[in-house]
Amino acid sequence: MIEPLFYSEQLAEAGATVTLAGDEAHHAIAARRLKVGDTLWLFDGRGTLARTALVEIAARRRGLALRVEERRTEPPAKPSIHLACALPKGDRQAVLLDMATQLGMASFTPLVCERGVVKPGENAGARWRRICLEACKQSRRLHLPEIREAATPREAAARAAAEGARVWIAHPSGESVAAAGSSRPSSDIALLIGPEGGFTEEEVGAVLAQGAQPVSLGPAILRIETAAVALLAALTVRAHS
């Protein structure tokens, strides 16, 4: 059985004792029913993983004392894949972020598009971070995706280009994903996915002016989250082949 993975913002060196509190401690005690002597794995969302032993459960189960047995840090996967995407409605946002995180998304930028119908809510960033965190724990990915500020397609493409990433924009006129990703990507890639009504021609033109490459997922009109996951999966396979 795989030992459970929990999030801790700060991780001490091997031999030190750390405290796990809040929701993570409650989950460990109430849901996983862990006891003194059990092994827990902690990660900080920045690539560091620690194997710990549960040495004490605080009164009223308010926290756990854990002794760090070993600790290591893994670098981010290369190339990095960044997703800039129009927002789907309702619970489909959670599906999008959950699956994208499992596939190794490095960052998420909500796109503000002319034909978009959903805008980020006041507390959206915190909620999205929680979704990504749970997806990291489930898939045992050690790097928590960065949640970036909302941007227009042009702004997102310009930022990606300035950071040295190749920019792909999902568009029916583009070449197939198989052709566009026929070789292992050598640089970071930013994927731009529009709303279900599609990008406007003005938005497409502004993104292409930043050196973007249009790619197509075929003739079907896909939901936002379907297109995003399909592109991420195609790139992830290529990156690790």
Helix (H/G/I), strand (E/B), else coil: 157: helix
Helix (H/G/I), strand (E/B), else coil: 148: coil
Place of tokens 């549960």: 54
**Torsion sign, CA atoms 169, 175, 177, 179:** negative
d(CA 76, CA 200): 34
Q: Picking from 23-27, 82-86, 116-120, 181-185, which range would have the lowest pLDDT averaged per residue?
A: 181-185
Reported as a pLDDT band with limits 50, 70 and 90, residue 104 is very high
Reported as a pLDDT band with limits 50, 70 and 90, residue 28 is confident
- CATH for 5-73? 2.40.240.20
pLDDT tens per residue across span 54-63? 999 886 667 8
Give start and end residues of each alpha helix (H) in the chain.
22-26, 92-102, 124-139, 153-162, 177-180, 201-208, 224-239
Phi and psi at 190, nearest 5°, equal -110, 125
pTM of the model: 0.90
d(CA 210, CA 7): 38
176: Cα separation from own chain's centroid: 24
For the chain, count helices (H), then strands (E).
7, 11
Reported as a pLDDT band with limits 50, 70 and 90, residue 44 is very high
Task: Tell me what pLDDT residue 60 has.
Answer: 66
Reported as a pLDDT band with limits 50, 70 and 90, residue 115 is very high
DSSP sequence for 42-107: EE-SBSEEEEEEEEEE-GGG-EEEEEEEEEEE-PPPSS-EEEEEEPPSTTHHHHHHHHHHHTTEEE
pLDDT higher than threshold 90 for residue 236: no
Domain boundaries, the chain: 5-73, 81-239
In CATH terms, 81-239 corresponds, of 3.30.565.10, 3.40.50.970, 3.40.50.300, 3.40.1280.10, to 3.40.1280.10
Q: Which two tokens stand for residue 44?
A: 């900080």
d(CA 30, CA 13): 27
Same-fold call for 5-73 versus 81-239: no
Task: Tell me what pLDDT residue 16 has.
Answer: 94
**Length of the chain (residues):** 241
Q: How many CB atoms lie within 10 A of CB 24?
A: 19
